[in-house]
Amino acid sequence: MLRNNNVVARIFQRQIQTPPPGTSVHCARRFYENLVPNFTIYDVECPDHSFRKFTDDGQYLISFSRNLLDLIVYRPTWLSYSYKEEDYHLPSRAKRFDSFFTQLYCVSLASSNEVICKDFFLYVNTNQFGLFATSTSQIHDAPAIGGAIQGVPSIERITFHLLRLEDGVILDEKVFYNDFINLAHNMGVFLYDDLLAVVSLRYQTIYILQIRESGNLVDVRAIGAFCREDDELFLNSNMADNSKLHQSSGNHVDIAVHSNQLNSDNSFLSGIKQRLLSFIFQGIWSEETDKFQVFSSSISCLILLHRTILNILQVFLHSNTITLSEGPVLEEEILFPFSRLCRLDYLEGEVQFLDRHHLLIKFGSVDGGVRLFMLSTTRIMSKEEGNSVFQSLHLSSDGCYYLFLNTVEIRLDRVLWELQVSRSADHHASFFAVYNMETTEIVAFYQNSADELYLLFEQFCDHFYAMSRNSSYMNFISSHSNNIHAREQLRSIKNKASSLSQFVKKMLTSLPFSCQSLSPSPYFDQSLFRYDEKLISATDRHRPSTDHPIKFISRRQPHTLKFKIKPGPEAGSLDGRTKKVSSFLFHPFLPLALSIQQTLFLQSSVNIHFRG
């Protein structure tokens, strides 16, 4: 049956028909096919600001001064002029920025030698709080001291500011000193309900904070060197007992004396990596029948990851007792397949909440290297049957390490390694771990080429967004798990891929998702409109700009052009060779959008697109 899809017909149809259960909102969203931003004001007279985004509830437009010192917040209004059919002549004032937006306030955020991080902003929808960040300049050759990672730059001061957007009052601040947090596009910070995860790349620590209704930022826990609040106290007391034991025994040389040969900074593997290695070891131990080979392989794994054998063996043997029966001397060389584990001594700075208790953490290599270690082990003697309990590890005069347990002595007579460097993203191995903050356990672990993880990503993509309970607008962001058109597009890309493993790696590079990086605008709903995602998309990123308008085609009427978005001057650029980029700020529910075209050494060109 031929249906008239104008607004009047849709309203009449809504009165006489009841949509299927659970589809009323989707049916109501079809009105956006008629309410489109079909009119453009080019080169709007506006302040020379850096416009960031609309808040998720559409109440505020966030912008920063060009010198990145001040925060300017606007409230979207609406044009108070009208015209009839094609006979429209808007007054000159209608082409000004303040006809569409009213400035609420201007607040100075940056102090001293700090500047605002213009790519960072998080919105707390329940309280209408805004989280902003300021920082000093980076120091690229900063020394790695105090447990810092070598090669990671340092920022002298990073300050997070919590503001009440209603009146611009600064409620609280949180400062990180001599640290590095990736603030570009919110990558190093994730907000879920009232919980905030901040990833320190320099110190390999995940800080969990809570945003109280009173506007306070409260420290909850730090996941890194320690996972529980009393871990440090327990380890310090244990080390004190061990030092007394070593002082009373003069037969062996303490491994701590030689620890600088392996790791000059830290003798302990961090708590989060201990949990990770324990999870890997337990998986191998439960699957293998040759327990001695697994135990030897685990030693190889440990040397690879931290180079301090004593503390790592304590991790494995703390919660797992190894039973070795009597038998003849065994000699075997083991090449542990650890090219798949790369260097897990580096937290890549990308973490997201899956819910209030679970984190998805990405691990990788600081230099892109893949280390393959071969460990030659010799079982020297077995004293008696029973459970082996780790006692000590000593370096002998012949350069071999001796591992002493209460029932067995193992000599590690040589360690060989090969370094293979691959900086290509396609060959760079990274890993994903699901971490339970309450139990401090790793509950799942995947490589970035794992088919199992990709299937979860393909079928349940929306669950990885893990937005707050009150962010209902996220239910309408198109993904290949909730939209048939996006799913068909993904399937087409998958079929064209020359290598399935490389395709899986490429798709999983988007994990963990950046927080609040997608626009909830209905004009990005792929069940309503079709557009060129190379030029515009819901993702908060700059796009290459062209002199041709971006077309939005009706999905239900495949050949019907609904509206066009053209960034830049109406007549186009005079120099077509100049590289230009564009960013698009769509209101979450109004037919209103800003397009900002940026050209090197030139002032930005701002266009306003609205329903005429």
For the chain, domain boundaries: 47-223, 231-421, 521-612
- Cα 331 to chain centroid, rounded: 45
Question: Average pLDDT in the 329-352 region?
Answer: 48
Answer yes or no: is pLDDT of 18 > 90: no
Is residue 181 a contact partner of residue 201, using CB atoms and an 8 Å limit?
Answer: yes
Q: At 461, is the pLDDT very low, low, confident or very high (cuts 50, 70, 90)? A: confident
Question: Average pLDDT in the 130-151 region?
Answer: 88
What is the reported pLDDT for 598? 87
> How far apart, in Å, do the first and last CA atoms of the chain sit?
31
What is the reported pLDDT for 424? 46
The one-letter amino acid code at 309 reads: I
Place of tokens 């001291």: 145
Q: At 133, is the pLDDT very low, low, confident or very high (cuts 50, 70, 90)? A: very high
Question: Nearest 10 degrees: CA dihedral of 446, 448, 454, 456?
Answer: 40
User: Is 0.85 topped by the overall pTM?
Assistant: no
What is the reported pLDDT for 288? 56
Burial of 397 (0-12, 13-18, 19+ CB in 10 A): exposed
Crossing angle of helices 309-319 and 271-287, in 10° steps, is 60
- What is the rounded distance in angstroms from the CA atom of residue 502 to the CA atom of residue 495? 12
**Overall size of the chain counted in residues:** 612
CA atoms within 13 A on the CB side of 317: 24
Answer whether the bond into residue 520 is a cis peptide, omega within 30°.
no
The residue ranking higher by pLDDT, 96 or 322, is 96
pLDDT in tens, 546-565: 888 999 999 888 888 999 99
- What is the rounded distance in angstroms from the CA atom of residue 37 to the CA atom of residue 546? 19
Is residue 310 a contact partner of residue 404, using CB atoms and an 8 Å limit?
Answer: no
Crossing angle of helices 500-508 and 451-459, in 10° steps, is 60
Task: Quote the mean pLDDT of the chain.
Answer: 75
- What is the rounded distance in angstroms from the CA atom of residue 431 to the CA atom of residue 23? 38
Q: Helix %, strand %, coil % for the chain, to 5?
A: 25, 35, 40
Beta bridge partners of 358: 436
What is the reported pLDDT for 159? 96
